[in-house]
Chains A and B, each alone.
Chain A
Amino acid sequence: MRNAHPGLPELDYVKPGSLEEASKFLAAHAGESRPFLGGTDCIVRIRDGAWKPKYLVDVKGLEGTTGISFDPAKGLTIGAAVPMNKVAAHPDVQKHYPLLVEACNWVASYQLRSRATIVGNVCNASPAGDTIGAAICLDGVLNVFGPDGYRKEPLTTFFFGPGKTALKPGDIATSIFFPLPPKESAGKYLKLGRNRLGDLAIVGVTAFAYKDASVASGYRFRIALASVGPTPIRPTAAEEILAKSIDESAVEAAAQAAMDSCTPIDDTRGTARYRKLMIRNLTRQAVSAVLAQLKK
Chain B
Amino acid sequence: MSLHRITLKVNGSTEIVDVPGNWTLLQMLREKLALTGTKNGCASGECGACTVIMNGDAVNSCMVLAAECEGAEIITVEGLSKEGQLDALQKFMIETGGIQCGFCTPGVLLSAKALLMRNPNPSEYDIREALAGNLCRCTGYNRIITAVQKAAAVH
List residues of A whose CB falls within 8 A of some B CB.
2-15, 36, 38-40, 43-44, 47, 56, 58, 60, 83, 85, 108-112, 114-115, 197-198
Contact = CB atoms under 8 A, between A and B. Distances in A.
Contacts of A111: 48, 51, 57-60, 111, 114, 133
A114 B59 contact: yes
Interface stretch (B37-45, B89-97, B146-154): B37-45
B25 to A, nearest CB: 9
Interface of B: 1-2, 4, 21-24, 26-27, 30, 40-46, 48, 50-51, 54, 57-60, 62-65, 67-68, 111, 114-115, 128-130, 132-134
Please indicate which of the listed interface residues A14, A110, A115 has the most CB atoms of chain B within 10 Å of its own CB: A110
Contacts, number: 111
Contact of B63 (A4, A39, A56): A39
Nearest to B51: A111
A112 B22 contact: no
A110 B58 contact: yes
B21 A85 contact: no
Contacts of B1: 10, 12
12 contacts: A7-B27, A8-B23, A8-B24, A12-B1, A13-B65, A13-B67, A44-B44, A110-B130, A111-B111, A114-B57, A115-B64, A198-B132
Contacts of B50: 6
Nearest to A85: B57
A-B interface, 10 closest residue pairs, ranked by CB to CB distance from nearest = A109-B133, A13-B21, A197-B132, A12-B21, A13-B67, A111-B58, A8-B22, A114-B57, A6-B40, A198-B132
Contact of B43 (A38, A47, A60): A47
Contact of B26 (A6, A9, A10, A56): A6
Nearest to B43: A4
Nearest to A43: B63
Interface SS of chain A: loop
Contacts of B128: 197
A115 B67 contact: no
A39 B43 contact: no
A6 B62 contact: yes
A7 B57 CA distance: 22
Nearest to B24: A6
B43 to A, nearest CB: 5
Nearest to B70: A15
B124 to A, nearest CB: 13
A191 B82 CA distance: 42
A222 to B, nearest CB: 28
B127 to A, nearest CB: 11
B57 A43 contact: no
Contacts of B64: 39, 115
B142 to A, nearest CB: 16
Contacts of A14: 21
Contacts of A7: 22-24, 27
Contacts of B132: 109-110, 197-198
Contacts of B30: 6
Contacts of A47: 43-44
Given A6-B40, A109-B48, A112-B63, A198 B133 contact: yes
Contact of A110 (B40, B41, B129): B129
Given A43-B63, A44-B45, A12 B22 contact: yes
Given A58-B68, A85-B57, A110-B58, 17 more contacts: A3-B43, A5-B43, A6-B40, A6-B50, A10-B22, A12-B2, A12-B21, A13-B65, A38-B63, A43-B24, A43-B63, A110-B132, A111-B60, A111-B114, A112-B45, A112-B63, A198-B133
